[in-house]
Structure 1
C-alpha cells in the first residue's frame, strides 16, 4: 500500500509538468509571438512590435532573476512550497485566461498579461522542482524527474496539436475565424493548467520537519538565508561547478530551441513545416525523456547527460549542411530524442548535490541560472551572423556552449557535494 501511495504521489507531482507545459508550447513557443504581431500590435512597424515583445520578455526575465532565489529560500524557511506553487500557478492561470478578453490593438494589456503569466510560470518551477525531494528518494530522482519531463512533452504536444487544428479549421470547432480560435487556445491553456495541477495539491505531502513560522518571519529569515546560501555555495565546489556547467550547456539547449524556427525560416522553409517539426519534438520528447531516466538508473546520470550533449553537438554541426525540409525534420526528431533527457537529468543530478532541507533555495538559484541561460547563445549566433553574413556559420557557434559546459561537468564530483557529508 505504501508503494502504491508513493507512486501515486510521484505521478501526481509529475503531472504538473503535463499541466504547465501547455503554457510553454501553445503560448510561449506557439501563438503569442505571432498573434501579438498580427493582432494586438497590428498597425505597428515590425521592428516596433519586436521591440515591445523583447522588452516584455526581458522584464519577465529580470523579475524572475531577482525573485527566484528569494522565493526558494522563503519556501524552505516557511515549509510552504505547495502554497508558493499554488500562488504562482494561480497568478499565471489567471493572466493566461485574461488574454482571451484582450481586444485587437490592445498590445500593452496583452503584453502585461504575458509578462505576469511568464513570471508566475518560472517562479512556480522553483517550488515544483524543489518538491521532488518530498516525493521520492535520491535513488529515484532520475526516473521521477524524467517522468515529469516526459509527461510535459506529451501533454504540451497534445494540447498544441488541438490548438493548431483549431486555428487551421476554426469552423470545425464552431469558431468564427482564426483570431477567435487563438483566443480560445489561450483559454484552453488556462483551463488545462488549472485542472491538471490539482493532483499535486491533493496527493503530494510536503515534508515539515520544523515549526512553520509566520509570513513576516519567513521573509526575514529567507533574506538572511539567501545571503548565507550565496556564500555557502561559493565554498561548495561541486555545486557551483555544476551550476556553471549547467548554465553553459543549457544555454546551448535553449538557444537551439529559440533559434531553430528562425534558422528554418532563414533557409526558406514554410511555417507549416516548422509547426510540424515543433510537434515532432513534443511527441518524440515524451518517450525519449522517460527512456533517459531509465538509462540513467541503469548506467550513470552524468554519462547520460554527456550522451545528450554529444548528440546536441553533432546535430548542431550537422545543421550547417541543412538544405532540404526533410533534413530539418530529422534534426527536429533527433533534438526530441535528447532535449528532455538533458533537462530532466540535470534536475535530478542537481537534487543529489544539495544539502537536506535546502531544496527550495538551491533550486531557486538553479532556476535562476536556467532563466539566465539563452543569453550567450543568441549573442554568439547574432554576432557570428553579423560578422560573416551566414546563418549556417552562426549556428556552429553554439558548439562552444556544449563543449565548454560538458567539459566543466567532468570537473563535478558528487562525492564532494554537501549532500555527501
Structure 2
C-alpha cells in the first residue's frame, strides 16, 4: 500500500487527539467547574457536566450507523469526515468565548465539538481498510494510536505549561491562558488534518449508473435495517462486538473516571494531571510494541494480554492510597490502553464486508459510545450503594473478565471468510459460511 497515504491517515490521529487530551480529559473539566459553572453548587455543576457528556455521546451513538450507511452508499466518507472534523475544530475554537457563569454556552459548544470529534472518528476509522491490507492493519492501526499519543501529548504539555505559567506567555491569569489553549486545539487539529484531506481520494462503491429513487436518509435507515437482519450471518463479528462492548465498557470508564476516582481518595490536582501526561508518553512506545506483539503471537492473544493487565489495574486501583500508586497505575494504563484500542479496531476491520466499511464502523462507534454510558453508571451505582468508591472501581473487573472470555470464542480467520462471502447483499439470504 501507499506509505504516503498511510502516513496521511495516521496523522489525523495526531491531529484530533489534541481534543481528546486537552479538552476532554485534562483542561475543560476543570475549566467548566471553576469558571463556566462557578455560579452553581458543586453538585449541580457536576450534574450539568455529566449531562453534557451524556448528550454528546447519545447524539453520536444515535446518528453514526445511519450516517455510515449513507456514506457507504454515496461514496462520501471523506465529505462526512471533513464536515465533522470542521465541526469539532470550530467548537474547540469557540470555547474561547466562554466566561464565568457561561455553563450553558460551555455545554453547547462542548457538545458541538464532541459530536464533531466522535462523528469524524466513525469515518476516519472506516478508511483503515482503504489504506492497509489485512496483514498490515494491526501495524497501521497501532502506529496511528501511537501518533495520537505523541500529538495529543505534545500539545497537552504545551498547554499545561501555558496555563500553569501563564505570566511567562503574557496572560493576565490562567483563565485567559486556558481559553487560548482551546483555540490551539482547533488550529492543531486543522493543520495536521491537511495531509489526510489532501491525499486520500475516495472511490465510490457500487454501480455509478444506478439511479437513486429515495433520499439518502431513507436509504441510510433502510441499509441499517438490512444490516440488523443480516448480522446473524456474521457470527464471529457478532461475538466480537459483544466482547468489545464489555471490555470497552471497562476501558472507557477508567479513562473517564480515573481523575475523579483519584480525587475522591485524596490525590492532588497536579498529581492527577501529571499522571495523565505519563499515560500519554508511556503509551507511545507501548502501543508500537503491541503491533510487534500481534505479529509474533497473533492480534487476539495480544489483545487478551492487554485486557488481563486491565484486570490487574482494577485490582491495584482498589488498594491505591497515594500519589505514587496513582503514578504507577498511570504507567500500567499507558502500557496497554493504546494497544487494546488499536488491536480492537484492526480486528473489527478484518471481519466487515468491503462495501460497508462506514456502516459497520458506525455500529462499532455505537458500541463504544454506549459503553461510555453504562460503565460509569455501574461505577456510580456501586459506589453509591456501598458508600465506597473503591468498590466502584473494583466493579469494573466484571467487564474485563466477560470480555476476555467472549474474545476467546472469536475465530478471526473465519470472520474474514464470512465477510468476504457475504459482501454481495444478494448473498445474505442464501449463503451461510461454514
Query: What is the deviation of 1:216?
Result: 6.3
Question: For each residue in 1:363-412, what CA deviation from the matched residue of structure 2 results, as whole angstroms up to 9, or x when unmatched?
Answer: 00001100111333223322322233322232211110000011111111
SS at match of 1:374: helix
Give the alignment partner of residue 264 of structure 2, picking from 259, 263, 266.
266
Contact 1:72 1:363 in 2 (8 A): yes
Counterparts of residues 57-206 of structure 1 (less than 5 Å):
57-206=53-202
Q: Tell me the equivalent position of 1:419.
A: 419
Question: For each residue in 1:141-187, what CA deviation from the matched residue of structure 2 results, as whole angstroms up to 9, or x when unmatched?
Answer: 00110111111111111101111001111111121110000000000
Q: Tell me the equivalent position of 1:393.
A: 391
Counterparts of residues 294-309 of structure 1 (less than 5 Å):
294-309=292-307
| Distance across 2 between alignment mates of 1:52 and 1:321 | 30
Point out where structure 1 has 5 or more consecutive residues left out of the alignment.
none
Query: What is the deviation of 1:208?
Result: 2.9
Question: For each residue in 1:52-105, what CA deviation from the matched residue of structure 2 results, as whole angstroms up to 9, or x when unmatched?
Answer: 212222211111111000111111001111111000111111111111123322
Give the alignment partner of residue 35 of structure 1, picking from 31, 34, 59.
31
Query: What is the deviation of 1:211?
Result: 4.7
Question: For each residue in 1:256-278, what CA deviation from the matched residue of structure 2 results, as whole angstroms up to 9, or x when unmatched?
Answer: 11221122112211110111100
Point out where structure 2 has 5 or more consecutive residues left out of the alignment.
422-434
Q: Tell me the equivalent position of 2:362.
A: 364
Cα gap change, 1:309/1:215 in structure 2, threshold over 3 Å: closer, same or farther?
A: farther
Q: Tell me the equivalent position of 1:326.
A: 324
Question: For each residue in 1:185-232, what CA deviation from the matched residue of structure 2 results, as whole angstroms up to 9, or x when unmatched?
Answer: 000000000110110011123233435577964333222111101111
Cα gap change, 1:22/1:214 in structure 2, threshold over 3 Å: closer, same or farther?
A: farther
> Does 1:20 find its partner at 2:26?
no
> Does 1:277 find its partner at 2:275?
yes
Please, which moves more after superposition, 176-185 or 387-396?
387-396
| Distance across 1 between alignment mates of 2:177 and 2:169 | 8
Give the alignment partner of residue 380 of structure 2, picking from 366, 379, 382.
382
Give the alignment partner of residue 56 of structure 1, picking from 52, 73, 97.
52
> Does 1:341 find its partner at 2:339?
yes
Q: TM-score, structure 2 length as denominator?
A: 0.93
| Distance across 2 between alignment mates of 1:400 and 1:54 | 23
Cα gap change, 1:379/1:109 in structure 2, threshold over 3 Å: closer, same or farther?
A: closer
SS at match of 2:192: helix
Contact 1:134 1:207 in 2 (8 A): no
Give the alignment partner of residue 314 of structure 1, picking from 301, 312, 315.
312
Query: What is the deviation of 1:12?
Result: 0.5
| Distance across 1 between alignment mates of 2:132 and 2:26 | 33
| Distance across 1 between alignment mates of 2:327 and 2:194 | 36
Please, which moves more after superposition, 83-92 or 232-241?
232-241
Counterparts of residues 209-248 of structure 1 (less than 5 Å):
209-211=205-207, 217-248=215-246
Q: Tell me the equivalent position of 1:289.
A: 287
Query: What is the deviation of 1:252?
Result: 0.4
SS at match of 1:378: helix
Query: What is the deviation of 1:420?
Result: 4.7
Contact 1:78 1:214 in 2 (8 A): no
> Aligned-pair RMSD on alpha carbons?
1.6
> Does 1:350 find its partner at 2:341?
no
Please, which moves more after superposition, 315-324 or 272-281?
315-324
Please, which moves more after superposition, 381-390 or 25-34?
381-390
Q: Tell me the equivalent position of 2:371.
A: 373
Contact 1:170 1:178 in 2 (8 A): yes
Q: TM-score, structure 1 length as denominator?
A: 0.96
SS at match of 1:373: helix
Q: Tell me the equivalent position of 2:428.
A: none
| Distance across 2 between alignment mates of 1:205 and 1:291 | 30
Please, which moves more after superposition, 406-415 or 351-360?
406-415
Query: What is the deviation of 1:285?
Result: 0.8
| Distance across 2 between alignment mates of 1:265 and 1:194 | 34
| Distance across 2 between alignment mates of 1:215 and 1:23 | 39
